[in-house]
Every structure is written in structure tokens, then in C-alpha cells.
């Protein structure tokens, strides 16, 4: 008996084309068509005036509220206060220091994110080890001929980024250690980690920040204090590391037991097994969860306004109080929201890209 | 019938080995001696403790009573001894357990580089040699997920051999494979056996047992029921339980 291979055929024609798509997805039956029309109507009736208000009827140039006459958004307000939104109360003559610090940061991040740049390892190491020191002296000064800029002058977007970047960079490794500790066979290590995680997860971040700014100093001897920003940073980092630990624990549990056994059987030690085999797989699985935590952290930094640090949201609120510009709070809130959204959305997109790039095309059979 | 390559050197010794899972007594007074170059096939119904027994040898499972001695090293709580034994004992798993985030070659060189501190160049050269022996050198730069089950299992064998082990443990190496791929894995194992490797294989491939085994061990209920050279084992089983088992797996 012989058999013939059947030819492969293209898919049926009604699966392709714009009209086919519209039919299938938007006007598939009467209920579907009505829903499309109703939703379309509301979308248009909301979007058109919004776009008109933001872009068409808005005022962009000028130096006082007198320039805002056309009835739309008054972006003059934002433009006039842009420096404050970006730098807070950082002395104007020293703005270049903040700019350099962030140009280096953004530059190296772009270097790391682009797919084909050489020496990523070196750049990453410099960014994690050398950059924090450089950034500290650039921003705080008091060395190398740079004047000191106290942290209570820091503010705006730059403060938000300082809080977020330090929080993100510090909470990930701490979270990994806590997650490993929670899985440990050693009872003391395990219970310390469990207690730590459960305490920090059980209190709201606002409480943590209050404790850091109000209660903590009470425990220090008279005259000794340490920086309020530093206290907030520590609070945020410890708080987020507890969340991070739980996300990572989820990832560790998703790794099949066979991977641990294969690593053991080959004679790898505990840390080799974790660093070479388990973590790379767990972190890959956990990219959505980790980035989710990063995004939450980024937005949570705005809570520091409650302890008197002027992050970008607090700057916006302060600007709203300015008698010269009263009545334009919508603009400032929208602007702050846009800033937050830009950063969070970029992180989200990058994480999706990373997931795809790291996919080596297989599940695990075990 | 294979002519035995066994020497007088004792490779694996289990003395009065006992293991419990909680209240459940999984291994009962196991005594087994394996000489260098010997090939042992272990069979038995599921839950008989055969996998658990070989997994005790490289301490993937902890035993509670009795002694395990591998190549003169006693397996005890001392982490140094455990690590020393794991360097000498290679293991192949039912589900391959290759590292999916690493290429085939990286899978193979990982342990030599990190455990044996071998230079990468040398490790890669040796790994390529072994991949050639299992007949998949052309797949070296692929990821495990891109290979068939049979290819993955051959990589897993090569990965173990890269550590240059004195003993190889096989835990049902062909049970998860499609029928078409069993032969390619068994061929590699037979070749390894003829080269004189000490092997303990948990498997139901009776053809393999007849070809290479020096001894076949039948386990049931956590104990060794019967132990014999393959010809006698298959043609003249002593115990009723063994007869029943053999009649059930051989009748198809």
C-alpha cells in the first residue's frame, strides 16, 4: 500500500481582510452591533471634548494666568512651574547636578535595554556599584567642591525617581534573600524571615512612613538624628522587599522539584544551585509579578508627601495653592498623572519585551 | 548473556538500609553490594521503593537507619561527604530534568566548571566529545525544549558523564519516552555498559536487563525479594511474587 502526502492549503478567505475582521469582531449579530454603536457613541462623546480641552482650546505660552484665555487647559501654569515639578526646591544654580545624575542613569539604562550593545555586564556593574556613589555626591554634594544641598530641598520628579530607583534596586535582592530564607530548612532563619515578611505586609505603607518620620527619632538619643529622606528610603525598601519576597517565593515554588534534584545530583552547592539554576528560571517566571511590584512601588513613593517630602505629586499640590494660579489644579494633576504613567507604562512594556526575549521556547516536562 | 566486567573493588554498599516517609516504612533492611563494573537492574511494581533506594545513594533522599558507602566514602550528615559522593555518582532521571534556560552545551559544562573548577575550554571540549558519543553533537547550541524526548535523555546522560562519574544511577530513564525513542536511549546505555561503567538501573526494559545486567533485583513492599543473574531470574524465578510480576510484564 502506498499513500500520498496531502498538499498544505491556505486558510479560508473569510478569515482575512478588514471587512471580514469588522464583521467578525464588531458587528457579529444584532446585540453585538448595538453594543458597538453604543460604546462607540460614548467613546466619541467623551474623547472629542477631552482632546479639544487638552490640545485644541488650550494655551501653551505666556508667563502669567492672563495668557490663559481660550477656555481650555492652561498649560502655561505647568510650563512656568516646570522647574519645580522636576527639581523641587533644589537650588537653581545646581540643577545641572541633577541633570547629569539622571542623564547617566537614563543613558546606562538605555544601554542595558537595547538588544545589541556590547559590555552590558560592565555597564550593569558600574551602574549598581559605582553609580550610587557618584549620584550621591552629585545630588548631596559636600565634597569635591560641590556645595551641600540638604535633602529637604530635594523634590519633584527627581525625588520621586530617587525614591523609586533606590527602592527598586534595594528591595529586589533583599526580597530574594527573604524568599530563600523563608524556604530554608534552618528553623531560625525561616522563622525570622516569616516574621519579617508578615509584619511588613501587615501594615500600611503610610504607617511605616509615619513611624520612620515621627516615632523613630524618639528612640534616638538627644541631638542625634538621621536624615528624613534616608529614613523614608529604608521604610519603603523594607516594606517593598516583603512584597517582593512573596512574589519570588511564588516563582520558586513554580520550579519543578526535578530541577533542584538535577542540580543536587550534579554536585552543585546550595548557592550555585540557586544562582545558576533556580533563580534564573524563577525570575523569568516572575517578571510580571516583579514588575507589578516595581510599578506599585513607583506609585507608592507619592505617599512620602505625608511626611513632608516634596515628591512630584506634593509639588503639584503645592503649586495648586499658589494664589497666582488658583483654579488650575486639573492641569497639574493631569501632568503628574502623565509623568507617573510614562514611567510605569515603560516598565510594563519593557517587562513584556523581556518575557518574550527570554522565552527559550519550551515548558518543562517534569 | 554478558560476560561480567566486575572487579573486586566495592563501589556501592548498602547495609541494613531503612527509610521512612513519616510513619510509612518505605525501605526495609536493604542490603546490596555493587562491585566496580557491575551492572544491576532493579525492577518491581510501582511503590516498591526501587527509585527511593537508588535516590538514597546520592542523598536525594535521606535514610534514617543503616549505612551507605560509595567508593569508600560513608554517606552521613557531613556535607563534605555528600558533596564528594555526588561528584562520583551520576544520575539520569525519568523526566530528564535538563536545565531549560541553558543550551545543551551549557547544561553539560555547568557542573564541570562550577563543581570541578575545570577551565571552560577544556570542559567544552570534553562535553563535545561526550555529545558525540551520544550522537547529538549537532544539537549542542540548541535549548532542551527544541529537542525530542530521546535526544533530551541522551543529553542528560552526557551531562552526567561530563562529571566523569564512577557510578551511574538510572531512574526509569525510558519510562517517559515515546516508544520510537526508547531504543536510541537504550543503545547509549548499552554502549556505556560495555565500556565498563558501574550502573544501577531502575527500569522495566527486560531486554536491556537480559543484555547487560550482571544481576537483576526484584523489589516489592520496600524490600529486596529476589536477586539473581538475569538468565536464572527470568527463566527460573524463585518467589511467587516475582513469578506474578514477570508474568504480568512479559505476557504482552
> If you write DSSP's letter for every residue of B39-60 in order, what string do you get?
EEEEE-STTSSHHHHHHHHTTS
CA distance A110 to chain B (A): 25
Of A309, A342, A346, the closest CA to residue A163 belongs to: A309
Report percent pLDDT > 90 for chain A: 18
Q: Which residues of B touch A262 (CB under 8 A)?
A: 91, 93, 97-99
Q: Does B160 touch chain A (CB under 8 A)?
A: yes
Report pTM. 0.80
Give the pLDDT confidence of B125-145 residue by residue, as tens digits: 999 999 999 998 999 999 999
Burial of A326 (0-12, 13-18, 19+ CB in 10 A): exposed
DSSP code of A143? B
Do A265 and B87 make contact, defined as CB atoms within 8 angstroms?
no
Instruction: For chain A, list the domains and their CATH numbers.
Output: 77-90+149-358 (1.10.3720.10)
Nearest residue, CB atoms, A261 vs list B89, B93, B110: B93
Cβ–Cβ < 8 Å for B12, B200? yes
Give the pLDDT confidence of A259-286 residue by residue, as tens digits: 999 999 999 999 999 999 999 898 888 8
Do A363 and B145 make contact, defined as CB atoms within 8 angstroms?
yes
H or E segment at B225?
strand B223-228
ipTM of the complex model: 0.91
Do A262 and B98 make contact, defined as CB atoms within 8 angstroms?
yes
CA distance A363 to chain B (A): 7
d(CA B151, CA A113): 35
CA distance B187 to chain A (A): 23
A65 pLDDT higher than 80: no
Structure confidence at residue B168 as a pLDDT band (50, 70, 90)? very high
Residues of A with CB under 8 A from a CB of B: 256, 258-259, 261-269, 272, 276-277, 280-281, 284, 358, 360-366
Mutate to test the interface with A, among B82, B88, B90, B101 (most CBs of A within 10 A): B101
Neighbour-count burial for A74-112, b at 16+ CB within 10 Å, e otherwise: bbbbbbbbeebbbbbbbeeebeebbeebbebbeebeeee
User: Which residues 94-133 in chain B show a CB within 8 A of chain A?
Assistant: 95-101, 110-111, 114-115
Neighbour-count burial for B231-251, b at 16+ CB within 10 Å, e otherwise: eebbeebeeebbeebbeeeee
d(CA A331, CA A324): 15
CA distance A290 to chain B (A): 19
Give the pLDDT confidence of A70-88 residue by residue, as tens digits: 777 778 777 778 888 888 8
A13 pLDDT higher than 70: no
Q: Which residues of B touch A364 (CB under 8 A)?
A: 100
CA distance B236 to chain A (A): 36
- Highest average pLDDT, of A60-69, A302-311, B1-10, B50-59, comes from B50-59
Give the pLDDT confidence of B190-230 residue by residue, as tens digits: 999 999 999 999 998 888 999 899 999 999 999 999 999 99
Polymer length in residues for chain B:
252
Q: Does B142 touch chain A (CB under 8 A)?
A: no
H or E segment at B82?
helix B79-88
Amino acid at each position: 500500500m502506498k499513500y500520498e502526502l496531502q498538499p498544505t492549503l491556505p486558510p479560508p478567505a473569510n478569515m482575512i481582510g478588514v471587512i471580514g475582521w469588522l464583521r467578525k469582531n464588531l458587528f457579529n449579530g444584532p446585540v453585538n452591533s448595538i453594543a458597538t454603536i453604543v460604546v462607540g457613541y460614548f467613546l466619541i462623546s467623551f474623547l472629542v471634548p477631552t482632546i479639544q480641552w487638552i490640545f485644541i482650546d488650550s494655551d501653551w505660552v505666556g508667563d502669567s494666568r492672563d495668557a490663559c484665555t481660550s477656555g481650555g487647559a492652561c498649560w502655561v501654569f505647568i510650563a512656568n512651574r516646570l522647574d519645580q515639578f522636576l527639581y523641587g526646591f533644589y537650588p537653581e544654580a545646581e540643577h545641572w547636578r541633577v541633570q547629569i545624575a539622571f542623564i547617566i542613569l537614563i543613558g546606562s539604562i538605555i544601554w542595558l535595554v537595547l538588544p545589541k550593545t556590547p559590555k552590558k555586564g560592565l555597564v550593569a556593574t558600574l551602574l549598581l556599584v559605582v553609580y550610587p556613589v557618584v549620584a550621591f555626591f552629585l545630588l548631596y554634594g559636600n565634597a569635591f567642591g560641590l556645595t551641600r544641598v540638604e535633602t529637604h530641598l530635594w523634590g519633584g520628579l527627581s525625588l520621586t525617581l530617587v525614591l523609586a530607583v533606590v527602592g527598586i534596586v534595594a528591595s529586589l535582592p533583599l526580597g530574594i534573600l527573604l524568599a530563600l530564607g523563608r524556604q530554608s530548612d534552618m528553623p531560625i532563619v525561616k522563622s525570622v524571615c516569616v516574621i519579617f515578611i508578615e509584619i511588613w505586609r501587615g501594615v500600611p505603607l503610610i504607617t511605616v512612613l509615619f513611624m520612620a518620620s515621627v516615632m523613630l527619632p524618639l528612640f534616638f538619643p538627644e541631638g542625634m538624628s538621621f536624615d528624613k529622606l534616608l529614613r523614608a528610603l529604608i521604610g519603603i525598601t523594607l516594606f517593598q522587599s516583603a512584597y517582593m519576597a512573596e512574589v519570588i517565593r511564588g516563582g520558586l515554588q513554580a520550579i519543578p522539584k526535578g530541577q533542584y534534584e538535577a542540580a543536587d545530583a550534579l554536585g552543585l552547592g546550595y548557592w550555585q544551585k540557586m544562582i545558576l539554576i533556580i533563580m534564573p528560571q524563577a525570575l523569568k517566571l516572575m517578571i510580571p509579578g516583579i514588575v507589578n511590584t516595581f510599578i506599585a512601588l513607583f506609585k507608592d513613593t507619592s505617599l512620602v508627601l505625608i511626611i513632608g517630602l516634596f515628591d512630584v505629586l506634593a509639588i503639584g499640590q503645592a503649586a495648586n495653592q499658589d494664589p497666582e494660579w488658583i483654579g488650575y489644579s486639573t492641569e497639574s494633576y493631569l501632568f503628574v498623572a502623565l509623568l507617573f504613567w510614562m514611567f510605569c507604562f515603560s516598565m510594563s512594556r519593557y517587562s513584556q519585551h523581556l518575557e518574550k526575549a527570554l522565552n527559550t521556547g519550551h515548558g518543562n516536562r517534569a | 548473556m554478558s560476560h561480567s566486567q566486575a572487579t573486586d573493588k566495592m563501589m556501592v554498599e548498602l547495609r541494613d538500609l531503612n527509610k521512612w516517609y513519616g510513619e510509612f516504612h518505605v525501605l526495609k533492611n536493604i542490603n546490596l553490594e555493587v562491585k566496580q563494573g557491575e551492572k544491576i537492574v532493579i525492577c518491581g511494581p510501582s511503590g516498591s521503593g526501587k527509585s527511593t533506594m537508588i535516590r538514597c545513594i546520592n542523598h536525594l533522599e535521606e535514610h534514617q537507619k543503616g549505612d551507605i558507602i560509595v567508593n569508600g566514602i560513608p554517606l552521613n550528615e557531613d556535607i563534605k561527604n555528600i558533596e564528594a559522593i555526588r561528584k562520583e555518582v551520576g544520575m539520569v532521571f525519568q523526566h530528564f530534568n535538563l536545565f531549560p534556560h541553558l543550551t545543551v552545551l551549557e547544561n553539560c559544562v555547568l557542573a564541570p566548571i562550577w563543581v570541578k573548577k575545570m577551565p571552560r575550554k577544556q570542559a567544552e571540549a570534553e562535553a563535545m566529545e561526550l555529545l558525540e558519543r551520544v550522537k547529538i553533537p549537532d544539537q549542542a547550541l540548541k535549548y532542551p525544549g527544541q529537542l525530542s524526548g530521546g535526544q533530551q535523555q541522551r543529553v542528560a546522560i552526557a551531562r552526567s558523564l561530563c562529571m566523569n562519574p564512577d557510578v551511574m544511577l538510572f531512574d526509569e530513564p525510558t519510562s517517559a519516552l515515546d516508544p520510537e525513542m526508547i531504543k536510541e536511549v537504550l543503545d547509549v546505555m548499552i554502549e556505556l555498559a560495555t565500556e565498563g561503567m558501574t550502573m544501577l538501573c531502575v527500569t522495566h526494559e527486560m531486554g536491556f536487563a537480559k543484555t547487560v545486567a550482571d544481576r537483576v533485583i526484584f523489589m516489592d513492599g520496600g524490600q529486596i525479594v529476589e536477586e539473581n543473574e538475569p538468565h536464572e531470574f527470568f527463566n527460573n524465578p524463585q518467589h511467587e511474587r516475582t513469578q506474578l510480576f514477570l508474568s504480568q510484564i512479559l505476557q504482552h
